[in-house]
Amino acid sequence: MPSDRLPVRAFLLAVLALLAPLAAQKRRDDEIRKLKKEDPYTKNDPELMQALGVVRYGPFPWADHLRTADVDKVLGEGRILWLETAHFRIGYNMNTAPLPQDSSQKKAIYAECRAMHARCRKFPAKPKRLGPWLRLHLYAQRCERAYAEFAQLVGVTERTFDKGSKVVGKGEFLGLPDKFLLLLFQKKSDMARYMKRFCDVEVDDSMRFFHKQTSQMLLCVSAEGMEGFDEPGVHGHVLYALWQNLMNGYRGYNFPLPMWLSCGVAHYYSRMVESDYITANIKDSESVDQESQNRWYEKVFKRARHDGATIPFDELAAITEWDQFGFHAHTQAWSRVQFLMELDRRKVGLLLDKLKRVPPTGDWDGQGRQIARMARKLVFDLFELDGPTFDERWRKWVLKTYPKRK
């Protein structure tokens, strides 16, 4: 397959809900269309826009030399709210969502809102529901927070790259020449139309895509495709996929990162969002209790207690096919990255940075195997962990650490 298509198909993970889908909400297909298109919190005031991190509203350039107006012509005028931040362009078409019933999840959203209220008094500190403009701002802030955390992890600043450069690897957006993209749809049909028309891919739930002409990383998600996910569930899924895009786009999207590393790091950050829902692929050969599939501390701890019940690192690091990277691979990749982060977070960032500095060869599969070997060697060089030593020390750490956690 051409290098621009293989990454696209490989991005899709099965999305699995812990609980039965929530009761279907009354359809509000035209909710966005009926909204006033002026941001109710900034009223287009430059000072308030700056306070909330808004660079501009649509229309603006999008991807592959098209504009948001081109997307509107396909999906319908006035159906998408467009907002641009320092490092992202975002299109939003999700409906109002209720606050989560879980008290800790609700407090987490209130904490985000209070932080934004401190910068813009018109933004509600304790909303009664999550309307479209409010959710759009929350996702804009979440995107920028993830970008800042990733830049800190790999040790780069705005001065690391060349402002205005169109050279992939030197562009100002972590090496890419243009901003990262996020599209959030309510309906599967809208996502399917966008993906078919602008990406030539048939998918309607969640996908990461590389717009090759302008070298931009896109994440596209439909709420309907999330099978009843609540707001924390969608939040966690979006964060997981955003981190995958940041890692893969860093210094140019030229070869695949090892699955254990990219999935482990993405889960490390996304699972900080408390949610009953997971982003993982459960293989047919895996028996996982649906009622407890989000309890990853418990799952990993139970397996770490028994010899032969965990996946050896050398075996985990050798998996290159998404359909072979199952539930236990996801949970244990997350746990191993968590272990490395606690050993030395700076070295995890250095590991990612060194891998992404390798010059591209144009051989996607061949270089992927090269990068996988290099990653195992770097784990040894940076942490003094070969496969068996990694297995032994990680299991001891799990057994010592996890029973003390929730």
53-106, pLDDT tens digit by residue? 999 999 999 999 999 999 999 999 999 999 999 999 999 999 999 999 999 999
pLDDT above 70 as % of the chain: 92
Domain that holds residue 379: 264-404
Instruction: Please say which residue of 253, 282, 304 terminates a domain.
Output: 253
172-226, pLDDT tens digit by residue? 999 999 999 999 999 999 999 999 999 999 999 999 999 999 999 999 999 999 8
- Joined tokens for residue 225: 């495709």
Burial tier of 186 (Cβ tally within 10 Å: 0-12, 13-18, 19+)? buried
More confident residue, 297 or 12: 297
Instruction: Please say which residue of 253, 274, 299 terminates a domain.
Output: 253
Is residue 259 domain-resident?
no
240-260, pLDDT tens digit by residue? 999 999 999 999 999 999 999
295-332, pLDDT tens digit by residue? 999 999 999 999 999 999 999 999 999 999 999 999 99
Is residue 50 domain-resident?
yes
- Joined tokens for residue 319: 């998996």
Q: Is the pLDDT of residue 6 over 90?
A: no
Is residue 1 domain-resident?
no
CA–CA distance, 64 with 41 (Å, rounded to integer): 31
Same domain for 157 and 18? yes
Instruction: Please say which residue of 253, 284, 316 terminates a domain.
Output: 253
CA–CA distance, 84 with 160 (Å, rounded to integer): 22
CA–CA distance, 229 with 237 (Å, rounded to integer): 9
Same domain for 269 and 222? no
Considering only 6-10, 174-178, 390-394, which range has the smallest mean pLDDT? 6-10
Tell which residue, 360, 400, 370, 305, has the closest CA to residue 167: 360
Is residue 200 domain-resident?
yes
Amino acid 19: pLDDT: 36
Please report the sign of the dihedral spanned by the C-alpha atoms of residue 271, residue 275, residue 276, residue 282: negative
Q: How many domains does the chain have?
A: 2
Q: Is the pLDDT of residue 22 over 90?
A: no
Q: Is the pLDDT of residue 399 over 70?
A: yes
Rg (CA), the chain: 21
CA–CA distance, 235 with 20 (Å, rounded to integer): 18
Is residue 71 domain-resident?
yes
Strand-pair partners of 352? none
Amino acid 116: pLDDT: 98
Same domain for 269 and 241? no
Same domain for 375 and 292? yes
What is the average pLDDT score of the chain?
A: 92
Pairing of strands 216-222, 206-211: antiparallel
Same domain for 284 and 207? no
Same domain for 284 and 242? no
Q: Is the pLDDT of residue 271 over 50?
A: yes
Same domain for 198 and 117? yes
CA–CA distance, 369 with 255 (Å, rounded to integer): 9
Give the pLDDT band (50/70/90) at residue 405: low
Same domain for 279 and 237? no
Q: Is the pLDDT of residue 9 over 50?
A: no
Same domain for 103 and 223? yes
Length of the chain, please? 406
Is residue 95 domain-resident?
yes
Give the pLDDT band (50/70/90) at residue 270: very high
Considering only 282-296, 351-365, 372-386, which range has the smallest mean pLDDT? 282-296
Same domain for 279 and 246? no
Same domain for 268 and 238? no
Same domain for 364 and 239? no
Is residue 149 domain-resident?
yes
Amino acid 406: pLDDT: 55
Is residue 187 domain-resident?
yes
